[in-house]
């Protein structure tokens, strides 16, 4: 019962975060290279949460790693570094989630697995590490929010907290777990 509600919440929060990132790019509060990364992240989240897949988990992990690296390439302006780092961190976490779904454990399930694999320490530890990373990202985004709102009034400042909470919801709701 909880998984469908979390899936809808994760999709909605991801879409809202993508819209806020688009607003930030349009207002020039975020570098233009954030827009393609936000689109890739949104499509990846939809593919993860909805039935059927467009790409294999390893392929999604690789695409997301490349997207994160593309954000960090070059010598961005000092003001853009923080923004690019926030997006790259979220994308790397999503890549780790995809790679976790791709690697089978000894019992044949995904490395990042739910209660069905509770007897295996590896999958439980991997899931716990991903959950802790997502929770840490969420806490950091909400701690950073007052500063972001001072620098950029309006809804666009909410893009990182929205995505961080969406990632937490994805971890719990993903059908592959």
pLDDT tens digits in sequence order for the chain, 177 residues long: 567 888 888 889 988 988 988 898 898 888 888 889 889 988 998 888 877 778 888 999 999 999 999 998 888 777 788 888 888 988 999 999 888 887 765 455 555 544 443 444 556 777 788 888 889 989 998 998 888 888 887 888 898 899 899 988 888 876 545
DSSP per-residue letters across 104-138 = B-TTSSBSS--GGGTT-HHHHHHHHHHHHHHHHHH
Alpha helices in 27-120 (DSSP H): 34-49, 57-72, 78-102
φ and ψ at residue 54, rounded to 5 degrees: -85, -40
Cα–Cα distance for residue pair 90/61, rounded to 1 Å:
13
In this prediction, residue 108 carries a pLDDT of 53
Length of the chain counted residue by residue:
177
pTM over cut 0.75: yes
Comparing CA positions, the residue from 122, 128, 109 lying closest to residue 175 is 109
Cα–Cα distance for residue pair 147/143, rounded to 1 Å:
8
In this prediction, residue 60 carries a pLDDT of 94
**Cβ atoms within 10 A of the Cβ of 78, count?**
7
Crossing angle between the packed helical segments 2-26 and 159-173, to the nearest 10 degrees: 150
């Amino acid at each position: 019962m909880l998984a469908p509600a979390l899936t809808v919440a994760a999709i909605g929060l991801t879409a809202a975060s993508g819209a806020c990132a688009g607003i930030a790019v349009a207002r020039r509060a975020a570098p233009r290279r954030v827009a393609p990364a936000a689109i890739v992240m949104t499509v990846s989240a939809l593919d993860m949460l909805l039935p059927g897949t467009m790409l294999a988990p390893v392929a999604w992990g690789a695409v997301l790693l490349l997207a994160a690296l593309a954000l960090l390439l070059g010598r961005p302006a000092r003001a853009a570094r923080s923004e690019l780092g926030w997006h790259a961190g979220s994308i790397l976490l999503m890549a780790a989630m995809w790679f976790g779904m791709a690697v089978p454990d000894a019992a044949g399930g995904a490395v990042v697995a739910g209660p069905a694999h509770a007897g295996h320490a590896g999958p439980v530890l991997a899931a716990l590490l991903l959950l802790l990373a997502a929770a840490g990202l969420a806490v950091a985004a909400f701690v950073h929010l007052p500063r972001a709102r001072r620098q950029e009034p309006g809804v666009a400042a909410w893009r990182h907290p929205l995505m961080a909470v969406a990632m937490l919801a994805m971890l719990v709701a993903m059908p592959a777990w």
